[in-house]
A and B are shown apart, each in its own frame.
Chain A
Amino acid sequence: MPVQILIRFNPAKPKAGDDVRVQIVAQHPMEPGTRKDANGKTIPANYITELNVIFDGQTVAQIRPTGGTSANPLFALKMKAVKAGQLKVTYKDLAGDSGEKTADLALA
């Protein structure tokens, strides 16, 4: 199942030199592997193990969540808006799913 990833900049169009908050939300169950279903069977772990944030070809953050991160997780970073560019997010989860999503940062 492809994972939906949403990327939002806050403010949406920052002025050059301002701080911009990058919010990434992945729609993923993040099963920690400790929960049991109605029949008492353990639900196998499936969480995002790797999420890389790349801005203009340069890796700015490598996020390594575990089952300790909640379902449909939010990942927020702060960076200085120096130039407009493309933000790319790539992810990998325990089930072997991977994918990427891009968003463009525009300056005011």
Chain B
Amino acid sequence: MDRRSFLKTSAGAVAGAVLSSSLAAALAQGGLEGEDVAKLDAALQKALGKGYKDLEPSKDVKLVAPTIAESGANVPVEIEAALPAEEVKAIHCFCDKNPTPLLFSVFLSGVAPYYATRIRIAETAPVRAVVETKDGKLLLASQSVRVTVGGCG
């Protein structure tokens, strides 16, 4: 095998491996680390009157949070929706295992569908960004954050 064809095939193999690992990550979405859907469901019902089943996982919602946070007392999160500003009504954020799972709600009008803040996370659990659109859809993005020191006690 000459060098050129070796490079080609190995590049293909690497791309394949990357693809399959991202696929595996996508499949693992169903079981995020520290997930507690029952508690999240209750919080969703209380805050939005909707359950976990009514949320629609969406690629339009971008949630930026660290995968590992040293201190749960101060975790930066950034939520951005790839939607026109007029369509977004509010951004909500939940964390499954916090004493109060609802972290914040932000109602926007006339600004970009973007919000960044710092949150407290009690223990390793997924952070849920819920973007509420004007036509009543609830778009979801989740990411599990591993916490070494909790931020609520």
Contacts and interface: CB of A to CB of B under 8 A. Distances in A.
How many B residues are at the interface, by size bracket?
20 to 34
A69 B118 contact: yes
A35 interface: yes
B102 A78 contact: no
B73 A77 contact: no
Contacts, number: 97
Contact of B104 (A35, A36, A60, A65): A65
Contact of B103 (A60, A68, A71): A68
Contact of A68 (B98, B106, B115, B116): B98
Contacts of B115: 63, 75-77
A86 interface: no
Contact of B109 (A59, A66, A68): A59
B120 interface: yes
Given A34-B152, A74-B117, A69 B112 contact: no
Interface of B: 73-76, 78, 93, 95, 98-112, 114-120, 151-153
Interface of A: 19, 32, 34-36, 55, 58-71, 73-80
